Amino acid sequence: MTTIHRGSPIGLPCLILSVFLAACAAPSVLAPVSPVSEPTAIAPPTQPPATATNPPPTRTPSLPPADEAASRITVPAGFAIHIFAQGLRGPRLMAFGPDGMLYVTLTGAGQIARLPDKNHRGAADGIEIVAGDLSAPHGIEWHDGWLYVAESGRVERFDGTFAKRELVTDNIPSGGGHFTRTLHFGPDGKLYVSGGSSCNICVESDPRRAAILRFNPDGTIPADNPFASDPDPRRQAVWASGLRNSVDFLWTPNGQLWANVNGVDGLGDDKPPEIIVAAIERGKSYGWPYCYNPTLGRTNATPLVRDTRLALPQGFDCAMAVPALFTDLAHSAPLGMSSARSGNFPAAMQNDLFVAYHGSWNSSAPRDCKVERVVIENGVPVRSEDFASGWRPAGRQCGDSATWGRPADVIFGPDGAMYISDDKGGRVYRVVFVGQ
């Protein structure tokens, strides 16, 4: 299992999202699934060793001919960006499999696609649909030879041949304004699942919303969960709460869990800043819907402030909520994120965060859809800068028809290159370092 991994859309109002999902994503009848059983003897490692079909990272990976992405998208000097695959139906989160191939969820289509590049030429050979009849599949990750998939209301897993499909748990909330779910396995071997709120600002009746949940790989509740003995069985899965819409999360090299959070709307163009990095702690609250972070950039543990639209519950105040480590402009909509890994990218960028900003749809000051680099120094996020931009014409919203694309996820492949999904343009891009 790898420990550096790297999301639900924030770009449309809740009602529109719900209609879209009902019309385009979730099948009217969920496909039958079997309960989790022990996997068969197919447990290749998540990061496979170098072989003839899976070569080790190189400093100068192969590049396809220049294309429209190369002419539209600006990346730093020494880097090149190209289209790896196109014609996808709303690609969202991605993962590389034990076979070295790239897998991506097509959330609106209810499918998972595989994008092989068998000759390692830097472009997919085609689009292979390996699974369908899924309910808004979003987060995916390989673990012990199985592909785990976070859907709206459940987690399933598929064996390496996609002939075997099993239900892991349906102990997660379904539907709602933020309907997508993200999953990753932690260094403790546990399955973590994030699920957003059902609304912009409200008091949730389901404690599993606006939270990160924690399960054993078979979907049962770990005995050391902070609320494992709670009389409400839904609360037993909760690991951390007050996270309005944490679309992605990862573990740092020292084992700390970091998550991003899409902030509340309705407070203007500049409030609250988006949480790009929150250090997630067992059993803690991060403020929503009662409090928010007031500081832009490195927060230096500045306490949260009240959102006066809701009264504080008895026994809670904003001083009890954990401040973010790093924030960015309101309405930036952070989705998928990853830490740079050793391989193709320069050493100076190792362990920096790269975050897909989906960009604004409801801000009078448009926020860009781009990939942002968050610089990490001594294990702490200290500043950020554009890494890849150019999908949005100046002055236009990222949700406008004139926008060419909107990044949804960022991951790094076995070749050391960066891969970016674009759910508006239906593409996956590949970014490599070619030298100064």
Q: Is the pLDDT of residue 43 over 70?
A: no
- Let me know if residue 375 belongs to a domain: no
Query: 144: domain CATH number?
Result: 2.120.10
Tell me the pLDDT tens digit for each residue of 384-399.
Answer: 999 999 999 999 999 8
Q: Is the pLDDT of residue 59 over 80?
A: no
- What's the domain count of the chain? 1
- Let me know if residue 222 belongs to a domain: yes
What is the three-state SS of 383-403?
EEEEEEECCCCCCCCCCCCCC
The CA-based dihedral angle spanning residues 164, 169, 172, 177, taken in that order and rounded to the nearest 10 degrees: 10
Q: How many Å apart are CA 332 and CA 182, to the nearest integer?
A: 19
Give SS3 for 347: helix
Q: Which residues contact 337 (CB under 8 A, 6 or more apart)?
A: 6, 248, 250, 260, 353, 354, 355, 356, 410
Average pLDDT over residues 262-284: 96
- Let me know if residue 356 belongs to a domain: no
- Let me know if residue 5 belongs to a domain: no
Give SS3 for 188: coil
- Let me know if residue 345 belongs to a domain: yes
Give yes or no for a contact between 77 and 67, defined as CB atoms under 8 angstroms apart: no
Tell me the pLDDT tens digit for each residue of 322-375.
Answer: 999 999 999 999 999 999 987 899 999 999 999 999 998 878 889 999 999 999
- Let me know if residue 21 belongs to a domain: yes
Which structural domain range is residue 173 located in? 14-36+45-59+100-351
- Let me know if residue 420 belongs to a domain: no
- Let me know if residue 68 belongs to a domain: no
Residue 331: closest CA among 426, 257, 245, 210: 245
Output the pLDDT for position 29: 33
Q: Which residues contact 287 (CB under 8 A, 6 or more apart)?
A: 242, 293, 304, 318, 321, 322
Average pLDDT over residues 16-30: 35
Comparison of pLDDT for 136 and 34, the residue scoring more: 136
Output the pLDDT for position 60: 59
Tell me the pLDDT tens digit for each residue of 198-244.
Answer: 999 999 999 999 999 999 999 999 999 999 999 999 999 999 999 99
Q: What is the mean pLDDT of the chain?
A: 88
